[in-house]
Chain A
């Protein structure tokens, strides 16, 4: 089985990289981009039957820094 973990900076945490991307889009002439947030996607190739609780533990212990990041798990 596979799972996909989306890691994003929490709302309210300033994202300087996303802001730089927003500026660059504006410079390319794309108007109306009000905001850009940049995150990560991590794909996990897992043993069949791995529980969602185990994936949550992976996120909490390593994949996300929950001080600044939130995560969303998508089992594929």
Chain B
């Protein structure tokens, strides 16, 4: 699998993401936000966590207008895979690739801890190595992770089985405890928790490995 990790000024999980993807066997290229195109034959684009452009205006809003994001949207429109984590999730909602928005945490605090997440669907490349109902532990580290979406779209997310992860104990006020959602074609995943920070036993857990293993498996079969 060929993966590209986007780097914005202020990204700080880009290298963690690259390490996690490489450990799972991916061929990884880092791509600067001013580039207007992705490397040829990229299967997966990862939009990493961090504080792109200092979270100015709104988290992810400036990054979503960068040249590379037009290429990321085109990649998704062609049916390419995209993984957005934390600030990456915020960027994906700002580009319109995923519905809804991430607001300030309900308790107004920056939350930095490991949380329990429930796998809500295994019907996508990202979670196919898990089982529905599995509880996994990933770190979260965000100030604006309070997922909100209009009631009609929320009903559609439920009906179409597009909620990938929910929080066991909702830390940020997200509607229906949503921690991660899929696009209509199930190839774009946005999530606030950090699977790439849960791939090394030395860092407190390896529950995130299966996400990357699942992704790589998707392309091994192809």
Question: What residues of chain A have their CB less than 8 Å away from a CB belonging to chain B?
Answer: 13-14, 16-17, 20, 61-63, 65, 67-68
Contacts and interface: CB of A to CB of B under 8 A. Distances in A.
Contacts of B104: 16-17
Contact of B101 (A16, A20, A65): A65
Contacts of A61: 65
Interface of B: 57-58, 61, 65, 93-94, 99-101, 103-108, 146, 148-150, 173
Residue among B57, B106, B107, B108 with most chain A CB within 10 A: B57
A63 B57 contact: yes
B108 A17 contact: yes
Contacts of A62: 57, 61, 65
Given A16-B173, A61-B65, A67 B107 contact: no
Interface of chain A, main secondary structure: helix
A68 B101 contact: yes
Contacts, number: 35
B58 A67 contact: no
Given A65-B58, A65-B94, A68-B101, A16 B107 contact: yes
Contact of A20 (B94, B108, B149): B108
Contacts of B58: 65
Nearest to B60: A65
B108 A67 contact: no
A63 B148 CA distance: 19
A37 to B, nearest CB: 13
Given A13-B148, A16-B173, A17-B108, A67 B65 contact: no
A68 B103 contact: yes
A46 to B, nearest CB: 18
24 contacts: A14-B103, A14-B106, A16-B103, A16-B104, A16-B105, A16-B106, A16-B107, A17-B104, A17-B108, A61-B65, A62-B57, A62-B65, A63-B57, A65-B58, A65-B61, A65-B101, A67-B93, A67-B99, A67-B100, A67-B101, A67-B148, A67-B149, A68-B101, A68-B103
